[in-house]
Amino acid sequence: MAQNRSTSESLARFLDQETFVLTVNGAIGRNRTYREGIDEPSKSQFRNSLQCWLYDRLGEYAAKPVDENRHLANIQRLSSTLSQNHADILLDGTFRIGTAQKALNLYLKYGWARGNILEPPHCPIDSIVLAKIKKCASSAECRICEEITWTKIRYVHEYMHFVEKAKARATEEGLSIARWELSIWEIATASA
């Protein structure tokens, strides 16, 4: 019996670690996050801080649905905490909101897929989502739609601009934003 519990615990730790690796790859893998010339130990320290921060929030999303205001506060807190603690290695000294939302939302998506948390309040805003939402009718008046890359999102209102567009698309299809993103992700990756 002790061996089975040990194996189960080892498998759970393995899945936790792999979930985090996938989250990091999705959020910062092809996203210029660090200043030039940053050494691997400094990057590793940053990733450890990110992992601890995300892991510490998982319980909050498991216990009961997290409302949008609380979720936005968590994204801002993640951005500001890592910016303060790692400004010396981050590009422009900032862990941008776009990268913070991608890390938190992707981590929550994996937690949801594993059955560890309830359905997340948002979805990862990334190139797949941005390809599916409509730009503003007058993009000349909308700087946010003009600079439509999730890696450049610096402010919560920019992030929410895309969330509202994604919610509108999800509603058109009778889905929550998390379920809508999951469906478009399946389609996008099936052809890749």
Minimum mean pLDDT among 35-44, 94-103, 128-137: which range?
128-137
Distance CA 1, CA 186 (A): 39
- In the predicted model, is pLDDT for residue 5 greater than 80? no
pLDDT value of residue 184: 94
CA nearest neighbour of 88 among 50, 42, 48: 42
Provide the whole-model pTM.
0.91
Percentage of residues in the chain with pLDDT exceeding 90?
77
pLDDT of amino acid 64:
92
* 3-state secondary structure at position 66: coil
Q: Which two tokens stand for residue 27?
A: 């959020």
Whether residue 166 is predicted with pLDDT greater than 90 in this model: the reply is: yes
Task: Render pLDDT for 23-82 as a digit per residue (tens, 0 to 9).
Answer: 999 999 989 999 999 999 999 999 999 999 999 999 999 989 999 999 999 999 999 999
Average pLDDT of the segment spanning 92-112:
97
Q: How confident is the model at residue 175 (pLDDT cuts 50, 70, 90)?
A: very high
Q: Which candidate, 176, 35, 22, 186, places its Cα nearest to that of 103?
A: 22
Torsion of CA 85, 87, 91, 96, to 10 degrees: 50
Domain boundaries, the chain: 2-190
- Reduced to 3 states (helix: H, G, I; strand: E, B; else coil), residue 187 is helix
